[in-house]
Amino acid sequence: MIEFEKYKLLIRNLYITRLLNYITIIAEIMAKDESAGSSPIDSYENSNGYSIVLKNERVEILREQKEVGSVLLEDVLGVHQVTQDDGVKLVVHGFPKTKKIFRSEARSLMKLVVHFDSDNTAEEWKKKIIVQSRKVIQEKYDWYQGKEPSADPRKYLVLINPVGGKGKAVHIFRTQVQPLLNLAGAECQVVVTEYAGHAQSMMKTFDLSSVDALIIASGDGLLFEVVNGIMERPDWENAITTTIGILPVGSGNALCASLLYEAEEEFSVANATFQIICGAVAPMDVLTANTVEGTKYFCLLAAFGIIADIDIESEKYRRIGELRFIFGAISCILRKKAYPGKLSYLPKDAKLQDTISSVADSQVTSSPKEDGELVVTNGVESPTNETSDNCIESHHETPSKTNNDVSEAAANPTVGIEVNSVQTGPPTPFMNKLSEPVPSNWVEIDAEFMNISVATISHLAHDFFNTKQAYVGCGTIYLLYAEANLTSRMDLFKLMDRMGKGNHTEMNFVNMVEAKAFRIEPSEKSGILTLDGEMIPFGPFQAQIHPQLGRVLGRRLKRT
């Protein structure tokens, strides 16, 4: 009887599985029919009776009016013309998702091959397919829709950090990334960095107009270098709009994890490469940070407390890749240290007018204008009125005074801020000087913290969220903080587990606020502070967001 029940259950499950299979297949056929039904843009029939048909959204190969293969144009990797003994062939390489019932969709390589009767026609078709596929991607995913797509090969400068992640970045690039870039017909200039800071110094002088994008093959730390190098250029305002692509071959890959999550793609090197090849450009926020040793720029994360300690103290386990964070987390939770200090922030919904006057009020030398309305140009907020206040003047007029730190260092040498002769970068009208109290419309919290993690993106690392609300280029700082006396070790283990799923913000000891600027002032003399996973000099620091100042390659739908 029990055996019979078991078989009945098995048979029922089999039926359900088969039914689900049928439903999926029918849905796929219907979807295909819908797009297949669209009228052809062009078609070509060869002497063997095969035809290639280019439609708005897909390319198909037919034999006697019956489809023998097809690929969506948005899934095309590249198109090649091959001339061999057996004639001229056109090869369309695709990287479509293959549907699996009980598994998430994975992408895999496929190709369509069709013979042509002449070189010239094959070449024409190659260009036609590439241009149409770029058009489709531009319309669906590109936030900027700049110039008309062409069939020209894309040019990249690839920066590889040989010590990033498990130290296998060069090997991963050669074996997993380069083959896909070759299929896409991309032209790459590859630079393997020789020392920490190499990419940053290279970015100060590199001819950025010679490439379509900079590809970073490392973790978030190399991005930090690249952005800081770019922001040190006199032409930073244009240079920061250079498109950046990122490959997750470091151990902290927060940007790539966030981009793939938003694109609903599995986290993998192949999918990250595909996202780069697609070429759709999305905005990325950039933040100015004033630290005790001068101005830094970052794009993704800042941390103080347990998350920063885990990140930096787990460096010694770098060889095991992302697993290092688990070891680091266990040791930091068992130690359970408190991090006293002050967290201040300017709430996201603070009125611009209040912010300007409260920043201006606190400047000793300032004489605030009454109607200091801001305009947004290229994501940089600049005051419409000229004032003598170095916090709100436009960088165009007096670039050397736009940085708060210059006069700050002169007024207060103990702060030890590096005074660069050429200070560039966007103005930071929401922040006071680091040595002064925060403006009056900021919120201040004095506490013994367990953690403060700040992010403008969804992920802190692969499989580790800061908040699902954030997305690359969202223009908002998401500040998460927890106080030490409200959290037990068990709470922290639960927190780490729930951060993996992204539902930790519902925990009662986790506070989340949305901000435009923030300041962290640790009470202790030494400790760890990180920006984009990189350690910065310990001491007070503050940052302000410049929404959508930078650009990144990301295959995700546009948001309104």
Footprint on this chain of ligand ADP (rule: CB under 6 A): 161-165, 193-196, 198, 218-222, 225, 250-252, 533-534
The Cα 170–Cα 183 span in angstroms is: 19
**Tokens (6 digits) for 274:** 């595909």
Cβ closest to Mg ion, residue 286 vs residue 303 = 303
HSE-CB for 392 with a 13 A CA cutoff: 30
309 is catalytic: no
Cβ closest to ligand ADP, residue 91 vs residue 191 = 191
Q: First vs last Cα of the chain: how many Å apart?
A: 60
Q: Give the nearest distance from C-beta 219 to ligand ADP in angstroms.
A: 2
Q: Which amino acid belongs to residue 263? A: A
**Tokens (6 digits) for 13:** 């499950």
- Applying CB under 5 A, which part among 196-204, 356-364, 410-418, 527-535 lies near Mg ion? 527-535
Q: Which of 75, 212, 220, 532 is catalytic?
A: 220
Cβ closest to Mg ion, residue 312 vs residue 515 = 312
Q: Give the nearest distance from C-beta 316 to Mg ion in angstroms.
A: 14
Task: Name which position in 165, 426, 533, 547 contacts Mg ion (CB under 5 A).
Answer: 533
Q: Give the nearest distance from C-beta 198 to ligand ADP in angstroms.
A: 6
Q: Across the chain, how many H-helices and E-strands are there? A: 14, 27
The Cα 492–Cα 449 span in angstroms is: 13
Give, in degrees to the nearest 5, the angle at Cα 270 between 268 and 271. Answer: 70
- Strand partners of residue 299: none
Q: Give the nearest distance from C-beta 344 to Mg ion in angstroms.
A: 27
219 lies in the site for Mg ion, by CB under 5 A: yes
Q: Which does 241 bind (CB under 5 to 8 A by kind): Mg ion, ligand ADP, none?
A: none
Q: Give the nearest distance from C-beta 444 to ligand ADP in angstroms.
A: 32
For residue 21, report the phi and psi dihedrals to the nearest 5 degrees: -60, -45
Cβ closest to ligand ADP, residue 78 vs residue 221 = 221
Name the pairing type of β-strands 541-553 and 243-248.
Answer: parallel
**Tokens (6 digits) for 181:** 């870039």
Q: Give the nearest distance from C-beta 537 to ligand ADP in angstroms.
A: 14
Cβ closest to ligand ADP, residue 26 vs residue 326 = 326
Q: How far is CA 423 from the centre of its chain?
A: 26
For residues 300, 301, 302, 308, the Cα torsion angle rounded to the nearest 10 degrees is: -150
Nearest Cα to Cα of residue 161 among 172, 151, 146: 172
Q: Give the nearest distance from C-beta 163 to ligand ADP in angstroms.
A: 4
Residues 6+ apart with CB under 8 A from 25: none
Q: Give the nearest distance from C-beta 532 to Mg ion in angstroms.
A: 7
DSSP code of 177? I
Length of the chain: 560
Q: Give the nearest distance from C-beta 309 to ligand ADP in angstroms.
A: 15
- Strand partners of residue 87: 84
- Applying CB under 5 A, which part among 220-228, 415-423, 438-446, 471-479 lies near Mg ion? 220-228
328 lies in the site for Mg ion, by CB under 5 A: no
**Tokens (6 digits) for 369:** 């204008």
Cβ closest to ligand ADP, residue 51 vs residue 218 = 218
Residues 6+ apart with CB under 8 A from 193: 159, 160, 161, 162, 199, 222
252 lies in the site for Mg ion, by CB under 5 A: yes
Cα separations in angstroms, 263 against 52, 475, 559? 30, 18, 12
248 lies in the site for Mg ion, by CB under 5 A: no
Cβ closest to ligand ADP, residue 89 vs residue 204 = 204
Q: Which residue is nearest to ligand ADP (CB)?
A: 219
The Cα 322–Cα 459 span in angstroms is: 13
Cβ closest to ligand ADP, residue 320 vs residue 512 = 320
- Specify burial of residue 83 (Cβ count, 10 A radius: 0-12, 13-18, 19+): exposed
- Applying CB under 5 A, which part among 248-256, 350-358, 382-390, 508-516 lies near Mg ion? 248-256
Cβ closest to ligand ADP, residue 165 vs residue 341 = 165
Contact 335, 306 (CB under 8 A): no
The Cα 333–Cα 487 span in angstroms is: 11
The Cα 414–Cα 49 span in angstroms is: 82
Task: Name which position in 94, 149, 185, 221 contacts Mg ion (CB under 5 A).
Answer: 221
The binding site for Mg ion (CB under 5 A) comprises 219, 221, 252, 533
Catalytic residues: 220
